[in-house]
Structure 1
Amino acid sequence: MLRLNSLQMRLTALLAVAGLAGALIYAGVTQWPLPQLLQWLRKDLALTIHAPMPLGIYGGMLASLIVLLPLAFWLAGQVMAPVSRLLRALEGAVASYRDGDFSFSIAIDRRDELGELIRMHNALGQTLREQRQHLVQRELLLDTVVQNTPVALVLTDAVGRIAYANIAARHLFHGGRNLVGLDFAELLADTPEALRRAVDSGEDALFTVEMDGGEETFHLSQRAFRLQGRPHRLQLFRRMTRELSRQEVATWKRVIRVISHELNNSLAPISSLAHSGAELARRGDIERLPGVFATIGERARHLHGFIAGYASFAKLPTPQPVAVEWAPFLEGLALHCRYRMATPVPQQPGHFDAVQIEQVLINLIKNAHESGGADDEVTLSLVETASELRIEVADRGPGMSETVLAQALLPFYSTKRSGTGLGLALAREITEAHGGRVTLANREGGGLSVSLRLPLMQAQAQVQVQASTR
């Protein structure tokens, strides 16, 4: 429904006025009063005025057009004046928004469509101002948090210059002075070699450096991403010494609990049996003594094996990698445990300490059989890439929760009542001694996969060094 004060109604009224004016001018020129006025001037006032030539239709229209054009121009100016003012105001508002200034508003009070557009524009500006204010507050909060975090943060651009650094990074690399604009590679030239090597690797790393008269352990996390369409790199240096100390204390407490539990389980029966044996000897009932002594010996052997297992983990020898032919190695492994090969056997020999890797695989395959899945689903995979050898043991058991996955490789951590928590920890220790790493992951469809990732180039270099020293 059209409103009386709408632009369309106003324009309609102006066009009607223009049309009526054109009709009146045409009638005045051709019919009345211009012809009568000229005749009265000629007759009654005796003025020498020649009789006007009849204008006709076209002449009247031309005369009407000459008179009507200035009127139409004035009416058009009246109609377009508010639109022109609004367009200029909107042009200024858009320019302000482009420059990031959202304080611009249009102070024009109208009750037509233009007024509605102005009110919507002002409401948009208010919304943008509020959002900008909230964004500034969040940026201020984020910058405060980042600046005061103990993790040293360095953001570099595509050419390696520092675009952002927090307080911890300034104290770590530049004595508290500003880092923005400096070349990060030049800044690292004066840092310890372990730190430079970790940064140059381009990957996450854990390294230890001499600092403030002692050793400080850092965890480096590196990520590459695009910021405003340009490549950047973020490095996070986190001090881990206190955290590692807490973890070490927690590990020792866990060790003490496990050893105490195992000692109590063995010493309590031994003490009870020794008391029973003494009582039987006092009574002269020597027939039952051999059984008592046999049980004591069995518990003592179990305790000795338990202590020996911990001692072997603590005194793990340095691996001696050699060229290992796969066929005899797998045949020997099959004598100790059952598994199914899931991949073809590589043609090239492996390079590792056969005794240590065999022990790791025996433990992993044993764990896979104890997972609760089908025995024929326990598989062994051997995959060689250009840089590493991946040995994977997989099962179809229930897998592990996220909490267990995060702690499964820690020494003495076990979800089994009778477990020592050394199987996966030993696998990690041996694999890392080879220069590799252990990864655990739940499988699609159920089950767990444990992968030993051994670097091929490093293993081959070790073999060559050993061969040259013989």
Structure 2
Amino acid sequence: MRLRSLEGRLSVLLSVASLTGALVYAGVTHWPLPQLIASLHDNFPLNLSTPNRTNAVIICAVILVPLSWWFAHIVMQPVKRLLRALEGAVASYRDGDFSISIALHRRDELGDLISVHNELGQTLREQRQNLAQRELLLDTVVQNTPVALVLTDANDRVAYANIAARHLFNEGRSLNGLHFATLIADAPEALRKATEGSEDALFSVEMDGSEETFHLSQRAFRLQGRPHRLQLFRRMTRELSRQEVAAWKRVIRVVSHELNNSLAPISSLAHSGAELARRGDIQRLPSVFATIGERARHLHGFIDGYARFAKLPAPRLAAVAWQPFLEGLALHCRFQLLSEVPEQPGWFDPVQIEQVVINLVKNAHESGSAPEGVSISLIPVGHELRIEVADRGPGMSEAVLAQALLPFYSTKRSGTGLGLALAREISEAHGGRIALANREDGGLRVTLVLPQSASTT
């Protein structure tokens, strides 16, 4: 127990109080008060009697109560000063001011508490400074990003907007506090419709005499317990132009490669045929002309495939009975049906979806899978239909999976790279999607997801 601790001080004061009480009691009952009263009684005619025990206790209480209050005041005074200081510091922390330190120097438990409090204040000040620096850095990055950022509250009023957003929506002026729907009331219809929804969107608007394409990304979340919505408007025209140029370059490379593969043999065979005709060796001419015809047909099929991909018509949605549809598929390709035939009819363009499924099944057979390992599953999920085509081939690497749906990408020597791209184009035209994934037990699974009419589900 430390002497300078509160416990030590209280022990000393209690000891002093106890000793004082004992001395007072002894002084009242034994010495010197009884002797003083006897002396006064002998010298002066006073009617005084020696105090009994009750009177002695009362006299002790009269003396000890003020003494105890004084001792309590001595003990509690530093505690009260510290509590007042802590109250002021907590009030400052509540107001966001962490600059308060307690300037009391003690060498007891209160001193330890003061030291810990001042360390806490220093830590909060450093964290506040670091947070302010990070906020400044983040604000600088956000303000100078080319992506227009708009944060709106539950009342659709702008709570935050960066420089790009101010220039895009309000000619560089501040947007804070403005009603966002009112702000874009005169904006192009495509922009208004995109912001009215809750999903990401890609839209084009007329700006400065040219068409500008934007990608809208929006998310809803709670900030300080209140709902907010964050909208990001990213200009995509330059990126789309770059991707378009890259796509055209890939097309030109593929077409040039295929044309060279066909025209070079045709040119060589034509020269050989002319030389044979000049020599009068007409017996070999039919084989030369047959080879030229075969290469021409191959080139015609190649060009026709590109033309069909570029001229894909809009799907004609209709209710499709599953049993006749599957029987028609079986005439073109071999597969195992692993699911039950859905009772409700499908809702899609039967010609286009049949083309997609046939291509997927043929790809499955060409993967090296055993014929009995190629399967089709029809799985209704809510208002969607999942058509899964699976095989037991080697599957695809991560790099191939990432690019397999891109036009003109192919791992086959004679492939055009249009099969899966055409499947993706058709599925997205139906409002659906297509996904590729390796199966855990070996092989590849291609999933075609198509939305279904409420009346068919």
TM-score, normalised via structure 2 length: 0.90
**Cα distance, 1:459–1:302 mapped onto 2, change above 3 Å:** farther
Q: Which of 420, 426, 438 is 1:424 aligned to?
A: 420
What CA distance in whole angstroms lies between the structure 2 residues aligned with 1:185 and 1:377? Answer: 55
**Letter matched to residue 158 of structure 2:** I
Partner of 1:189: helix, strand, or coil?
coil
Q: Is the Cα contact below 8 Å between 1:400 and 1:442 reproduced in 2? A: yes
**Letter matched to residue 210 of structure 1:** E
What CA distance in whole angstroms lies between the structure 1 residues aligned with 2:175 and 2:398? Answer: 39
Q: What CA RMSD, in Å, does the superposition of the two structures yield over aligned residues?
A: 2.7
> 1:438 corresponds to which residue?
434
TM-score, normalised via structure 1 length: 0.88
> 1:194 corresponds to which residue?
190
What CA distance in whole angstroms lies between the structure 1 residues aligned with 2:172 and 2:438? Answer: 45
Greater alpha carbon shift after TM alignment, 176-185 vs 113-122:
176-185
What CA distance in whole angstroms lies between the structure 1 residues aligned with 2:147 and 2:105? Answer: 55
What CA distance in whole angstroms lies between the structure 2 residues aligned with 1:226 and 1:336? Answer: 54
Greater alpha carbon shift after TM alignment, 146-155 vs 121-130:
146-155
Q: Is the Cα contact below 8 Å between 2:407 and 2:417 reproduced in 1? A: yes
What CA distance in whole angstroms lies between the structure 1 residues aligned with 2:144 and 2:291? Answer: 63
What CA distance in whole angstroms lies between the structure 1 residues aligned with 2:395 and 2:111? Answer: 66
Measured after TM superposition, the shift of residue 434 of structure 1 is 3.3
Partner of 1:335: helix, strand, or coil?
helix
Measured after TM superposition, the shift of residue 396 of structure 1 is 5.0
> 1:463 corresponds to which residue?
none
Measured after TM superposition, the shift of residue 273 of structure 1 is 4.3
Matches within 5 A, 1:160-175: 160-175=156-171
Q: Which of 208, 211, 221 is 2:207 aligned to?
A: 211
**Letter matched to residue 215 of structure 2:** H
> 1:33 corresponds to which residue?
32
Greater alpha carbon shift after TM alignment, 382-391 vs 298-307:
382-391
Matches within 5 A, 1:376-455: 376-384=372-380, 387-395=383-391, 397=393, 399-400=395-396, 403-441=399-437, 447-455=443-451
Is residue 2:52 matched to residue 1:55?
yes
Is residue 2:266 matched to residue 1:267?
no
What CA distance in whole angstroms lies between the structure 1 residues aligned with 2:265 and 2:322? Answer: 46
**Cα distance, 1:89–1:374 mapped onto 2, change above 3 Å:** farther
Could you tell me which runs of 5 or more consecutive residues in structure 1 were left unpaired when the two chains were aligned.
461-470
> 2:245 corresponds to which residue?
249
**Letter matched to residue 52 of structure 2:** L
Is residue 2:230 matched to residue 1:237?
no
Q: Is the Cα contact below 8 Å between 2:28 and 2:51 reproduced in 1? A: no
Q: Is the Cα contact below 8 Å between 2:37 and 2:50 reproduced in 1? A: no
Greater alpha carbon shift after TM alignment, 117-126 vs 294-303:
294-303
Percent identity of the aligned residues? 74
Aligned residues: 456
Matches within 5 A, 1:71-470: 71-274=67-270, 288-371=284-367, 373=369, 375-384=371-380, 387-395=383-391, 397=393, 399-400=395-396, 403-441=399-437, 447-457=443-453
Measured after TM superposition, the shift of residue 26 of structure 1 is 0.9
What CA distance in whole angstroms lies between the structure 1 residues aligned with 2:80 and 2:11? Answer: 19
**1:421-463 Cα deviation digits (max 9, x unpaired):** 1112111222333344434455555554434343444999xxx
What CA distance in whole angstroms lies between the structure 1 residues aligned with 2:358 and 2:455? Answer: 22
What CA distance in whole angstroms lies between the structure 2 residues aligned with 1:90 and 1:404? Answer: 65
> 1:69 corresponds to which residue?
65
What CA distance in whole angstroms lies between the structure 2 residues aligned with 1:164 and 1:372? Answer: 57
> 1:18 corresponds to which residue?
17
**Cα distance, 1:222–1:405 mapped onto 2, change above 3 Å:** farther
Measured after TM superposition, the shift of residue 79 of structure 1 is 0.9
Q: Is the Cα contact below 8 Å between 1:109 and 1:115 reproduced in 2? A: yes
> 1:466 corresponds to which residue?
none
Partner of 1:49: helix, strand, or coil?
coil
**Cα distance, 1:160–1:448 mapped onto 2, change above 3 Å:** farther
**Letter matched to residue 57 of structure 2:** M
**Cα distance, 1:33–1:402 mapped onto 2, change above 3 Å:** farther
Q: Is the Cα contact below 8 Å between 1:321 and 1:459 reproduced in 2? A: no
**1:194-250 Cα deviation digits (max 9, x unpaired):** 122222232111111222111111111121212222222222111111110000011
Q: Is the Cα contact below 8 Å between 2:347 and 2:453 reproduced in 1? A: no
Measured after TM superposition, the shift of residue 267 of structure 1 is 3.3
**Cα distance, 1:84–1:396 mapped onto 2, change above 3 Å:** farther
Could you tell me which runs of 5 or more consecutive residues in structure 2 were left unpaired when the two chains were aligned.
none
What CA distance in whole angstroms lies between the structure 2 residues aligned with 1:446 and 1:228? Answer: 48
**Cα distance, 1:160–1:257 mapped onto 2, change above 3 Å:** same
